[in-house]
Amino acid sequence: MPNFDLGSILGSKPQTLIPKLILAAALCVSASLVWRPTRSDKITYSPSPGKSRPRCHLRDHPYPPDALPGARDVETPYGQVRVYEWGPEDGERVLFVHGISTPVVALGDLGHEMVARGYRVMMFDLFGRGYSDAPNDLSYDTRLFVTQFLLVLASSRIPWATVPGFHLVGYSLGGGLSVAFTRYFPHLVRSLSLIAPCGLIRRHHVGWRSWLYYNSGLLPEGLIKYLVRRRIRPDVEPAHTAGGSDILAAESSRAVKGDGDANGGAGFNSAAISKTRPHVMVSSVVAWQVDIHQGFVMAFISTIRSAPIYAPQEDWKALSKILDIRRTHANGPEFAAGLEGGKILVILGKDDGVIVMDETIEDAKLLLGDDGIEFIALEGGHELPITSSESVGDSIESFWKSSSGCGGR
């Protein structure tokens, strides 16, 4: 706050006292508008449903708090993060990362599949999804999500960062984020497997509505939130949902025509979220987030704008150099830990309208080369890891076993 010599003011002549008092008052008002005391208790996130709703009220919801085993809530400077970790403590470690609008419960069957094979599994809700809080003063970009990876890993009582590291499996948006994480921390990642990954979606799939809502700058934010909320909330009906779900600007048959930012197609929307809860559809879980997670829509919008979704992505180029070093110096003096086979796995759905198989194969090969990537194409659409967890698990484990130094069971 500015200092004033009150004595000099009061000692002024009457004809000059009033103007000086007016000036002093104006300076005080101006300073009070600019200066604010620092508050350490200021909340900078929107709370998850776990905080905003009584736990007993959530038990019958599409995504209940006990949907997966080994749950814990991790306090971080960015808000609380929901983490699940289970499986044999001495098993090889596998970290799963989910997509843009389905929380991690969508990968629950795949997690159970790998635990049954003897692996130690950890997965978490990305910020603004499921039971994780939504930071409201940050962009949902690579920096935020890579930091979240590290916070999650550090929250375990088991040392996930020790040699030989952990297997990283990313789905959809989680695939693009996993590439970014591996770029910066390749020595921690024993192997990288991507299921229908983002990061290479071609720009021609962006429809005019997506451009208008996310990139044009023509609409006020309040209106954008209203329109996006309506756009991404699915119609919750068992087998004929036509609304939104897990992603972006290349979804389903509608996306191929250049429209949509959140429609994974009827097969995705009507997929059961898990084998143990076949009556709960993916569309119900997404609608649940839209309706009761206070920060979900904001997080979705910011993720579309800032996360590594569309091509080109520098992370893939950087990863190519890392993989080349792993292959070239596999046994030499410049050997570096992580990604020991010098190759990653990409699993694609033959009928996926979100991540178009032929385009992804062409673009990924161009960036990583034939020696840096292995492709597996399975029957199904963008719902592949949700509905075909056993086939996806077989593909991932076979890749681990065939890669030098990885998954030697």
Instruction: Give yes or no for residue 172 having a pLDDT over 50.
Output: yes
Q: Shortest CA distance to 268 belongs to which of 258, 257, 283?
A: 283
**How do residues 104-113 score in pLDDT, each as one tens digit?**
999 999 999 9
Give the mean pLDDT of 195-216: 93
Sign of torsion over alpha carbons 303, 309, 313, 317: positive
Instruction: Give yes or no for residue 407 having a pLDDT over 60.
Output: no
Q: Is residue 13 part of a domain?
A: no
Range scoring the smallest mean pLDDT among 25-39, 56-70, 307-321: 25-39
Instruction: Give yes or no for residue 75 having a pLDDT over 70.
Output: yes
Cα separation, 234 vs 22, whole angstroms: 59
- Residue 45 sits in a domain whose CATH number is 3.40.50.1820
Q: Is residue 11 part of a domain?
A: no
Give the mean pLDDT of 101-124: 97
Cα separation, 181 vs 189, whole angstroms: 9
Who wins on pLDDT, 285 or 58? 285
Range scoring the smallest mean pLDDT among 72-86, 157-171, 235-249, 366-380: 235-249
Q: Is residue 32 part of a domain?
A: no
Please report which confidence band the pLDDT of residue 1 belongs to, taking 50, 70 and 90 as the band edges.
Answer: very low
Q: What is the pLDDT of residue 403?
A: 83
Q: Shortest CA distance to 376 belongs to which of 194, 110, 198, 168?
A: 194
**How do residues 349-372 score in pLDDT, each as one tens digit?**
999 999 999 999 999 999 999 999
> Residue 271 pairs with which residues in a beta bridge?
none
Give the mean pLDDT of 171-180: 98
Q: What is the pLDDT of residue 43?
A: 76
Q: What is the pLDDT of residue 53?
A: 78
* Residue 156: domain span: 37-409
Q: Is residue 179 part of a domain?
A: yes
User: What is the DSSP code (8-state) at residue 309?
Assistant: -
Who wins on pLDDT, 15 or 122? 122
170 with 180: CB under 8 angstroms?
Answer: no
> What type of residue is 42?
K
Who wins on pLDDT, 142 or 11? 142
pLDDT averaged over every residue in the chain: 85
This prediction's pTM: 0.85
Number of domains in the chain: 1
397 with 407: CB under 8 angstroms?
Answer: yes
Q: Is residue 7 part of a domain?
A: no
Give the mean pLDDT of 286-298: 96
**How do residues 221-278 score in pLDDT, each as one tens digit?**
999 999 999 999 998 754 333 333 334 332 333 333 333 455 566 789 999 999 999 9
